[in-house]
Chain A
Amino acid sequence: SAVISQKPSRDICQRGTSLTIQCQVDSQVTMMFWYRQQPGQSLTLIATANQGSEATYESGFVIDKFPISRPNLTFSTLTVSNMSPEDSSIYLCSVEDVGPRANYYNEQFFGPGTRLTVL
């Protein structure tokens, strides 16, 4: 089972600035995902990041606003660019890895999240 860490755990930023969130996994994984969790709302997938290829963004999310890097099989970054108060949210990294529950289903494991507040 993958263990995921994220940096920073929280940050308070000014409008118009950018923040880069780091996600580190303790094992090599192919699929990494970035989610946003806004207060009282469900987790929303921002993009899927595979090593060696461009990230795939979900409807409503664009690369200029949320550029993603995936330099190797254990690390990824998400940048929240030109931030506004509407970007205040928890950002979660997750990976797909073999879990203990099923031999044909790869679990998604989540990092602890980065709590972002934009003033």
Chain B
Amino acid sequence: QKEVEQDPGPLSVPEGAIVSLNCTYSNSAFQYFMWYRQYSRKGPELLMYTYSSGNKEDGRFTAQVDKSSKYISLFIRDSQPSDSATYLCAMAGRLSSGSARQLTFGSGTQLTVLP
């Protein structure tokens, strides 16, 4: 069993739709939860970051973490064609320095938003 499982997709939605992307994990030591966005032929870029459980909102994006269920989600409201990309969840445990270095990634979900 992989440490992090991500819905494989691909996912295709019409412009304006609400998108839900999800990951589950097995390692209870994970404390930091991230979503990266990767456009074609580019490196991943950090989109959202959450520490421990709860919700975090940034514009059209909302990240949710449920540590009791070991389940994280990313919601995209009013999706745009420019949101078309691969979305990767990533997680890390806590180090004494407070920085999270050893990232464990999901396999990514390819999202296409159709105009």
Contact = CB atoms under 8 A, between A and B. Distances in A.
B43 interface: yes
Interface in B1-22: 2, 4, 6, 8
Given A104-B98, A105-B98, A106-B99, A43 B88 contact: yes
Counting chain A CB atoms within 10 Å of each CB, which of B8, B42, B44 scores highest? B44
Interface stretch (A12-20, A80-88, A108-116): A108-116
Given A112-B41, A112-B43, A102 B105 contact: no
Contact of B105 (A43, A107, A111, A115): A43
Given A105-B32, A105-B51, A105-B98, A111 B106 contact: no
Dominant SS at the B interface?
A: loop
Contacts of B66: none
B100 A105 contact: yes
Contacts of B102: 45
Nearest to B4: A42
B78 interface: no
Counting chain A CB atoms within 10 Å of each CB, which of B45, B46, B98 scores highest? B46
